[in-house]
Amino acid sequence: MKLKSLTCISALFLIISLPGIAQQKNKFTPQPGLLATIKKNFADADAQYKVLAKNLKPGEFPKAYHPETNKQENSNSGWWCSGFYPGTLLNIYEENHDKALLTEADIMLATLAKEQYNTHTHDLGFMMYCSFGNANKLNPSPEYKQILLNSAKSLSTRFNPKTGTIKSWDSKPSDFLVIIDNMMNLELLFWATKETGDSSFYKIAVTHANTTIKNHYRPDYSSYHVINYDAETGAVKEKKTAQGFANESAWARGQVWGLYGFTVMYRETKDKKYLDQANNIAKFVLNNPNLPADKIPYWDFNATNIPNALRDASAGAIMASALLELCRYTNKTDGLRYFNTAQSIIRTLSSPAYKAEPGTNGGFILQHSVGHFPAGTEIDVPLTYADYYFVEAMKRYQAFAVK
């Protein structure tokens, strides 16, 4: 299971490999200074991920780094974040052509491959599409496609027609828990329909998204984190926000998972209701009085200690990447706002306040993310998915410079 080395990346490859480029409605001009910063960021990221690789034992995937104890937290391939590390390696390799990163990615893909048959998680989109999906874009192969297809089949087993959703967390039999994060895993199902012509994957994704609009969203377009359904009747039993400040609060990363997910829904279906949903989520976030001027959100928009609440760099990175796609589909006024916001976020995350000096931070690129504040885990630390979406956002920004 090896990717072929790339000697160059053509403008055409950039255009077809980044979602939404071919459907561009609006045109925006990236700033030369920020493009130069991004080029340096990729060079630094290359060095950082070589440091990160040294901190892994065979079979391990990075989760986080704890600067106060100088200890790295790793996982096995079954953890929901396992696909981000190889995906980031591949995205940095695509930019820098450093074969050491490609070799490391190949090793991690081989370890991750068995998760294609994992039917106990909804996170196969994160795990397999962010890894093997990127690998297949760089070097399409029957092996990668089969792994992705098996992953989509495994994910589909968690769909319940009664609830109209894909089950997120396994728990007691009377509960059917669905989290907003699940919107990020639907892209794998759309890929499977396009690859095979089997519309069942597409139908599951659309049904899940429609149910999410109905039950996860409040009138102001903020989102709950968790909906608990009755698996027999499909009725909503509870609405909660497990990783946020309170059940009725707007957990920042949850809001941008939805923003990203409904942008993908519009790309894949061209159904305007998904574009409207994405725009409404974007406006909730961008018009929120508790969004800081530099656009890096507090970990929860309703945290009681704002402006002293912790920021979440991962939420900022996800938001930037989502907005750099959404800006291509919406009207010119909103599009410009989205583009400029993403530009601001990338600039802020590139500053010493968030971007680590090479050789520090355990090898992670970004500092200051928040995983699960109420549980007291991954508080103000580097996180693997913050790096992934920061790198993706930078790639998407660079694509605007392609003529």
**Cα dihedral 8→349→260→166 (10° resolution):** 100
Query: CA angle at residue 356 from 15 to 58, to 5 degrees?
Result: 80
The one catalytic residue in 44, 123, 312, 334 is 123
Radius of gyration of the chain (CA): 20
* Rounded alpha-carbon distances, angstroms, from residue 309 to 300, 301, 312, 354: 8, 9, 10, 16
Closest CA relative to residue 301, chosen from 310, 293, 291, 312: 291
What's 176's DSSP letter?
Answer: E
Q: Is 181 a catalytic residue?
A: yes
Q: Please classify residue 207 by burial: count the beta carbons closer than 10 Å to its beta carbon, then call 0-12 exposed, 13-18 middle and 19+ buried.
A: middle
* Rounded alpha-carbon distances, angstroms, from residue 6 to 3, 50, 66, 97, 331: 9, 19, 34, 6, 37
- How far is the C-alpha of 286 from the C-alpha of 290, rounded, in Å? 9
- How far is the C-alpha of 88 from the C-alpha of 105, rounded, in Å? 9
The one catalytic residue in 44, 181, 334, 380 is 181
Closest CA relative to residue 156, chosen from 188, 113, 197, 112: 188
Q: Please classify residue 371 by burial: count the beta carbons closer than 10 Å to its beta carbon, then call 0-12 exposed, 13-18 middle and 19+ buried.
A: buried
Residue 185 CB neighbours (<10 A): 28
Q: Please classify residue 342 by burial: count the beta carbons closer than 10 Å to its beta carbon, then call 0-12 exposed, 13-18 middle and 19+ buried.
A: buried
- How far is the C-alpha of 72 from the C-alpha of 64, rounded, in Å? 6
- H or E stretch at 160: strand 159-160
User: Quick one: angle between helices 384-399 and 84-96, nearest 10?
Assistant: 30
Closest CA relative to residue 162, chosen from 224, 223, 225, 236: 236
Residues in the chain, total: 403
Catalytic sites, residue numbers: 123, 181
